[in-house]
Structure 1
Amino acid sequence: MPIEPAAFRTAWPQVVRSLAVATRSLDSGEEYAAEAFARAAAQPDGTIDDLVGWCVRVGRRAWLDTVRHQAVLARIQSQIARAEVDAVDAPTAPGDDLDDRVALLFVACDDALAPGAQLVLAMRVVCGLTIRQIAGHLGIAEATAAARLTRAKSALARTRGEFVVPDGPARAARLPVVLACVAGLFTVGQRDALQPADATQDPARDALTLAEALVAQYPDEPEVLGLRSVCRLGLARRPGRVRDGVALTLDEVDRSAWDQRLLSAGLADATAAIGRTRPPGHLPGRFALEAAISGVHAAARDAADTDWPRLAELYDALLQAWPSPAARVAHLVVLGRLAVRDGGDLGPVERDLDELVADGPPYAARDASLALADLARRTGRTEEAAGRYRELLDVLPAGPLREFCRRHSG
């Protein structure tokens, strides 16, 4: 039977978590879940009423078959005797109200793994990103991302032995990496799909769902509120960014099309995130600052009305909290805006952007190239801008942003 994408995305983490508990291995949980969904897809229509329960039972049977074939039946005799429905109930221990995907995130972000391995494992197994998307987000080769994934699964099995959802203190220690994973999922969604063709396959929407589940667990944590604010404000501002299949510049965006409900909720989160920074006077964290930045953009009536000096200050602070190539490019874009507006010297900004084009990771190099093309276009250097847009046609995937470059390349 065909499995609807929305049903699959809802059922997958539940089945993986159930089977990981049964097999005591995240890797095995994922493997037998994939086998169960493949068998579900081969069933005639109308034969499966409960996709999660059916896949858990089938995955558990497949695992037990494997165990039998490995001649260790005696070791698991008591588990075989249990009613299969227990496997459906297994993932939720008394008092454990964790969302299944969030629970898997905390498992994947184990501090026994290297930070890069944590991100790759979580973004692949839990967030469902492809190796290509993960490699692009992290600025590494696809082969490197694939190798990290393999090593992470092996290291997790070797170090922890069996699948266990961490307790409260361990979750708190892993929370920063979990937030980075959700932020990465959101970034990929916004970068790859300005106008998603299928709302059920939208990484940015999935990121908001995860952020909301994290806020349910940490309602007073500024960084968690900040991340939800970033997701809400980013999605609120998505409508109006594309016209006739072509991306629009910040000056052209139809702000009347923005989602006012999400906008209001995101601004409330941003205010709360900055207001709850602890201790008072302490520099806010990455996501509280990113929320404040998104809030400045969201509150402006148009691009000209945007408080660019305030954004420059916020990016200065962000670079202290999170000195990443992505933050550096965004900071330079703001400085370029100010230089054009005030008649300042663009030389230092363009030199720094050129440096990122030459030496930055692929995503930062791409964004820096777009920023340079935009500066050339807005300062009347038409031929230079067209040349830069033509070069970008070779690296951008098909979509609204590529069509924007095509429109301005001739």
Structure 2
Amino acid sequence: MSDAHAAIERIYREEYGRVVASLVRRFGDIDIAEEAAGEALLVAMEKWPQDGVPPNPGGWLTTTAGNRAIDRIRRESHRDAKHQAALMISDDTPHEPTGPVEDDRLRLIFTCCHPALAPEARVALTLRLLGGLTVPEIAQAFLVPETTMAQRITRAKKKIKGAHIPYRVPEADDLTARLPGVLAVIYLVFNEGYLASSGEAAIREDLTAEAIRLGRILHALLPDEPEVTGLLALMLLTEARRTTRVAGGELVTLLEQDRGGWDRALIAEGHELVRSCLARAAHTGRRPGQYQLLAAINAVHTDAPSAADTQWDQIAALYDQLYAVAPSPVVALNRAVAVAELDGPEVALAQVDRLPLSGYHAWHATRADLLRRLGRSGEARAAYDAAIAATDNPAERAYLARRRGSLAPTEPG
């Protein structure tokens, strides 16, 4: 691929969500929007290398795609009333970074993440329509056959059409209830990239980058929603540590990472977002939500010059707040890690052993570390075995195997 074509594809992916969202709003049909956007790319590939990239590439793509959609509708011999009406629409909305075009993307995000759709369909449709990823790329990201992913996306689009799922931002009364589902989809994409659940790659940079891009879009559209700000901050502070998380094919834990390799620009941006969340919470009296609290926990970690300087009392207190708003055994497990630093591994192990997480690899890994610190090598070895068996991530398995191999051969005493 030539440099010119590579640049065009990059621009196209950046603008894809805007173009499709605008066309869906205009024509009320996702399939027409996708096909027209694809045709616009082909025209750009033909014209831009010769004529140069236009000053407003997004506007050019939107206009070209709109014309192609109208041409398609005109070619159809049987058009329903909706398509007939679409022919009468003229849309001269300027392609600007704010205003109606941005609202189109917000509408599309909520359509993709509608609770009537299955969770896996919400993720796939969001990556396809907002992220501009191809069906093969999405299938590869989640390690399913391409045909399976294509069927999943097709069923989701049919569900939207058949169930008459509205293409709109929820009303104010519904927004609070619907927004967590949207945030959960974006965070799921990020987590799959941050620590891949399967496959040969330990970290999927493409997925973490895509989730952050979607998070930035949502934050730009809903700047006054504190949980949106919190999620973006959380992803940025986590992403800042990505390049230090794997070394020699092995996972490197937070406390062992080279902090000099952390991305300080992302950390500064994340800290600023966290401060704005906490200031808003103090001003309004509203209790911070789970993403704000998780971001605050990561802010404490990334603020410490060294692992020894970590303010574990602050982290434990933040986990207490998190458990109050989002009680779960996983939150309690993470809090126990802070307890081990404050009160010792024996106190933490007693808390961990009470949690119903025997099918969760991190529970076994946490137990293994606490048992190792207590000198209970035999039990630690069994816990490491269980953790290794419960994860398919290659870097994590390598780390756990090394820790298991470093255990004393027999129990002390």
TM tier, smaller: 0.7 to 0.9
Per-residue Cα deviation, 1:15-68 (whole angstroms, up to 9, x for no partner): 42244235412354346546776x679979947966865697469647854774
Give the aligned CA root-mean-square deviation in angstroms: 4.5
1:166 to partner: Cα distance: 2.9
3-state SS of paired residue (1:276): helix
Contact 1:208/1:231 (8 A) holds in 2: yes
CA change 1:48–1:383 in 2 (3 A) is farther
SS at match of 1:357: coil
TM-fit CA distance, 1:377: 3.8
Q: Give the structure 2 partner of residue 362 of structure 1.
A: none
1:110-121 aligned within 5 A: 110=114, 118=122, 121=125
Question: Does residue 183 of structure 1 match 2:169?
Answer: no
Partner residue of 1:392? Answer: 388
Q: Cα gap change, 1:370/1:93 in structure 2, threshold over 3 Å: closer, same or farther? A: closer
Distance 2:164 2:81 in 1: 23
Q: Which residue of 1 aligns with 2:367?
A: 372
Aligned to 2:357: 356
Distance 1:394 1:371, change over 3 A: closer
**Closer/same/farther in 2, CA of residues 70 and 264 from structure 1, 3 Å limit:** same
Q: Which residue of 2 aligns with 1:403?
A: 398
The answer (yes or no) to whether the contact 2:212–2:235 under 8 Å persists in 1 is yes
Q: Which amino acid aligns with 1:403?
A: A
Alignment partner of 1:273: what SS? Answer: helix
Most deviating of 266-275 and 212-221: 212-221
State the AA in 1 paired with 2:393.
Answer: P
Report how far residue 343 of structure 1 moved. Answer: 4.8
Q: Residues of 2 paired with 1:294 and 1:172: CA distance?
A: 27
Q: How does 1:31-110 map to 2 (within 5 A)?
A: 33=37, 46=49, 53=60, 57=64, 61=68, 64-65=71-72, 68-69=75-76, 71-72=78-79, 76=83, 95-98=99-102, 102-110=106-114
Displacement of 1:248 after TM fit? 1.3
Q: TM-score, normalised by structure 1?
A: 0.73
Letter in 2 for 1:206: E
Matched, 1:209 2:213: yes
Query: Aligned ranges for residues 11-410 of structure 1 at < 5 Å?
Result: 11-30=15-34, 33=37, 46=49, 53=60, 57=64, 61=68, 64-65=71-72, 68-69=75-76, 71-72=78-79, 76=83, 95-98=99-102, 102-110=106-114, 118=122, 121-122=125-126, 125-127=129-131, 128=133, 130=138, 152-160=156-164, 164-166=167-169, 169=172, 172-173=175-176, 174-192=178-196, 202-277=206-281, 280-324=284-328, 326-339=330-343, 341=344, 343-344=346-347, 346-352=349-355, 355-358=356-359, 365-382=360-377, 384-386=379-381, 388-389=384-385, 392=388, 395-398=391-394, 400-410=395-405
Identity of aligned residues (%): 31
Q: Distance in 1 between matches of 2:119 and 2:231?
A: 19
Partner Cα separation in structure 2 for residue 366 and residue 133 of structure 1: 21
Runs of 5+ consecutive residues of structure 1 not aligned to the other structure: 137-141, 359-364
- TM-score w.r.t. structure 2 length? 0.72
How many residue pairs align between the two structures?
386
Q: Residues 87, 392 of structure 1: CA spacing in aligned structure 2 closer, same or farther, 3 A cutoff?
A: farther
Q: Where in structure 2 are there 5+ consecutive unaligned residues?
A: 406-413
Q: 1:367/1:88 Cα in 2 relative to 1: closer, same or farther (>3 Å)?
A: farther
For residue 396 of structure 1, give the secondary structure of its aligned residue in structure 2.
coil
